[in-house]
Structure 1
Amino acid sequence: MTDEKLHAYRDKRDTDASGEPSGKGSAPTSDDRPVFVVQRHDASRLHFDLRFEIAGVLVSWAVPKGPSVDPREKRLAVRVEDHPLDYADFEGRIGEGYGEGTVIVWDTGPYESLTQRDGEPIDADAAVRAGHLKVRLHGSKLTGAFALTRTGSRDGKEQWILVKIDDDGADRRRRPTSTQNESVLTGRTNEDLEDE
């Protein structure tokens, strides 16, 4: 089933040339809780890729302006192809072709699904299929609850809206996507990767 979910990922790229993980033999995380990752991707346009470990893959969205911690701000999130689990700690330069540019792990950590239907919890996989996912993040830069809601589609891609829930992790003044540009794993920036 995981191979089937990764068909679009593998079809779009030559991982030998791009340097990206192939996803062959990727295993679930060792932690009891699934992980999320936000990767800062400086490609043809700078954007942030938001990914959640769900049902053996990283279910992914491209967020052009990146996540906001201000509950008043709504951010467009475009659903993209599922990525393999070993992409969660991928950093480096993607070679010529699809996604060409630099990638760092901007934030990562465990998460939990808060999604409910009729007052009962539902798992993240069912929540994504239903078009509404609410999660609590335990990252270094992003903490607290966020909600993703599908709003429709454009050019064959699902359009979603990402919002911060107003809780202890919210901050109307902090702008982490523009002030904290370093990797939480290595301390490198996208610019550092350009210079390597």
Structure 2
Amino acid sequence: MSLEDYSRKRSFEKTPEPKPAPVPSLPPSNRFYVQRHHARRLHYDFRLEIGGTLKSWAVPKGPTLDPAEKRLAVMVEDHPLEYGDFEGNIPAGNYGAGSVMVWDRGAYELLGDKTVEQQLERGDLKFRLHGQKLRGEFALVRMKNRGKGNEWLLLKKKDVAAQPGWDAEKFSRSTL
């Protein structure tokens, strides 16, 4: 997925969403964002800063700290870095119309000996989150033999941050 896909789906004169800016030549900072997006259906957009963009997955039931729960995560188009702190209402008639709230944000650290690009290509991305709500080890694992290859699972690993029964909807405030 690319920023061209993001731009093609939007009319920037009609929506407050940010336009992609030129990719800065700064070193990557490994930021992550989770946005609660009440569009046609409520879902959470999970975003990792990778290669100067925000790689993005739509998580219908939201992330969890419960390692017993597997969450479907559908890879969607990349978003510009500026989108990470976007909150507001996307007007009706526009792609993704509805309210967007920054539900969590922070940094992530890659786990394992492969680069983030290698892990993405392999379909097995392992990382530790340092967020305001989400903490600890997670994995994004691409589901094999499913559709277009954009269906992944977001998994919480068993660690000190794990909390059985944890529900994202109990924590509905913005982190901005």
Q: TM-score, normalised by structure 2?
A: 0.93
Alignment of 1:175-194 (within 5 A): 175=167, 177-185=168-176
Task: List per-residue Cα deviations over 1:18-43 (Å, max 9, x = no partner).
Answer: 1101012354778x631000000000
Q: TM-score, normalised by structure 1?
A: 0.83
The match for 1:17 is 14
What SS does the aligned partner of 2:76 have?
strand
Counterpart selection for 1:108 from 105, 108, 111: 105
- RMSD of Structure 2 on Structure 1 (CA): 1.7
CA contact (8 A) 1:41 1:104 kept: yes
Alignment of 1:91-106 (within 5 A): 91-96=87-92, 97-106=94-103
CA contact (8 A) 2:12 2:19 kept: yes
Partner amino acid, structure 2, of 1:178: E
Partner amino acid, structure 1, of 2:133: K
CA distance in 2, matches of 1:140, 1:29: 25
CA distance in 1, matches of 2:122, 2:149: 16
The match for 1:147 is 139
Alignment of 1:31-180 (within 5 A): 33-96=29-92, 97-114=94-111, 116=112, 121-152=113-144, 153-154=146-147, 156=148, 158-175=150-167, 177-180=168-171
1:178 shift after superposition: 1.3
CA contact (8 A) 1:33 1:112 kept: no
What SS does the aligned partner of 1:10 have?
helix
CA distance in 1, matches of 2:3, 2:108: 22
CA contact (8 A) 1:78 1:157 kept: no
Aligned pair count reads 174
Which ranges of structure 1 fall in alignment gaps of 5 or more residues?
186-196
Task: List per-residue Cα deviations over 1:142-187 (Å, max 9, x = no partner).
Answer: 0000011000432x46110111000011000332x111101001xx
What SS does the aligned partner of 1:128 have?
helix
CA distance in 1, matches of 2:164, 2:26: 33
CA contact (8 A) 1:28 1:85 kept: no
The match for 1:192 is none
Partner amino acid, structure 2, of 1:42: H
